[in-house]
Amino acid sequence: HDDIAAAVAADLAFHDGVLQASANPFVPVLFSQLRQVLKVTRSQTSSKQDIRRRALNHHKLIRDAIAAHDEAAAREAMNAHLDQTWDDFTHYFRSSGLTDLPKSPAASNK
């Protein structure tokens, strides 16, 4: 039995922990403004087991890099996770009939 609410809560808690570990007092404050929107979208995308599995794999890479105090690896892992999240988000919503989605925020930084 899939517990979507628990998966979403765990996902948001993971990101809260990463933000707290950043030691930047502004980052958690900014994230708090997006938290409700992310909770709604993650509640939808987390209904797909393959999306949850990909996210968990990325979370492990991020966690391991932070635990190793490897800033470059943590940054790379987080960027890969953001790309994965965007790809999953757009695929999920396109398969739901939405086709007019913006380009990935990460793509504009490359």
At residue 1, does pLDDT exceed 50?
no
Mean pLDDT computed over every residue of the chain: 83
Instruction: State the pTM of this model.
Output: 0.76
> Which SS3 state, helix, strand or coil, does residue 50 take?
helix
Pair 49, 90: CB distance under 8 Å = no
The 3-state DSSP class for residue 56 equals helix
Better-scored residue on pLDDT, 104 or 38:
38
Alpha carbons 14 and 106: distance in angstroms, whole number:
21
The pLDDT value given to residue 109: 52
Can you tell me the mean pLDDT for 13-30? 86
